[in-house]
Structures are given as structure tokens and as C-alpha cells.
Copies of this chain bind each other. A is one copy, B any other.
Amino acid sequence: VLIEVNSETDFVARNDEFQALVKNLAMQVAGLAPEYVTIESIPADVLEAKRSELAADPQVQSKPADIRDRIVDGQLRKWYEQVVLYEQPYRDTDQTVGQLVTDAIARIGENIRVRRFTRYQLGEDL
């Protein structure tokens, strides 16, 4: 796992709490294999394809249109919790990773964000 976490100053980047946060975030990426940092960073075509796929389900199709949209929205939220780092549950806490980062920002007093990550899975197809 390679992860880039940005702070505003070098001072914070060298801070022990920041370093621990980066390590925990890297372990999260290793363990739960997210694909995107935030919901906003999901490419529009990927999101549209996922929405169409969920809407095409016969069980969803059998419902009235307004209910259909709500079901798909709910399923998209569940999907975010799987593929979006900031929406994933953090370990066995009831916090998301995004909340963990927000807490760290509050404690450290400086903006912090995960800019990108790369994860290699042994044996995965390229």
C-alpha cells in the first residue's frame, strides 16, 4: 500500500499523531481495499454504471418509480461504505474513516486529507 496524506505544514507531517494516523489509514486500505478516497472522487461514469446496474435488478423494477429511486439510493450508500475509504467503518468502531480524519484535524488543528492511495493485491490481474 502506498498512501499520500497531506497536511498544511511540515511541522504537522512530523508529528507523532499524524504519523500514527497515516499508518492506520494505510492499514485500513490494506485490509478493506477501498477504491476511492471520497464519494466525490468516484468518476461520473462509474457512478452512473453502478446506479444503472442497481436499478436494473428485477426486484427493484417491480416497485413504483419513486420507491425505486429510494431503494437505489440506499444501495448506493451501502456500496459507498464498501468502496469509498472515507465512508468505510474504521475497524470495530462506529466511526467512519472520514470521521477519524475529521477528529484528527480537530485535535491537530490543521487540515489533513488523504490525497490518493495505491494498493497491490498479490496475484491480482492487471
Identical subunits present: 2
Q: In the complex the two chains form, what is the Cα distance from A38 to B57 in whole Å?
A: 43
What's the minimum C-beta distance from A52 to chain B, rounded to whole angstroms?
27
| Interface members, chain A 33-53 (any B CB < 8 Å) | none
The majority secondary structure among interface residues of chain A is strand
Interface readout for A86-126 with B: 1 if CB under 8 Å, 0 if not? 00000000000000000000000000000110101010001
A2 interface contact, C-beta 8 A: yes
The bracket for how many chain A residues form the interface is under 10
What's the minimum C-beta distance from A33 to chain B, rounded to whole angstroms?
14
Q: In the complex the two chains form, what is the Cα distance from A23 to B4 in whole Å?
A: 20
Pairs across A and B, CB under 8 Å, 11 listed: A1-B2, A2-B2, A2-B118, A2-B120, A4-B120, A4-B122, A115-B126, A116-B120, A116-B126, A118-B118, A118-B120
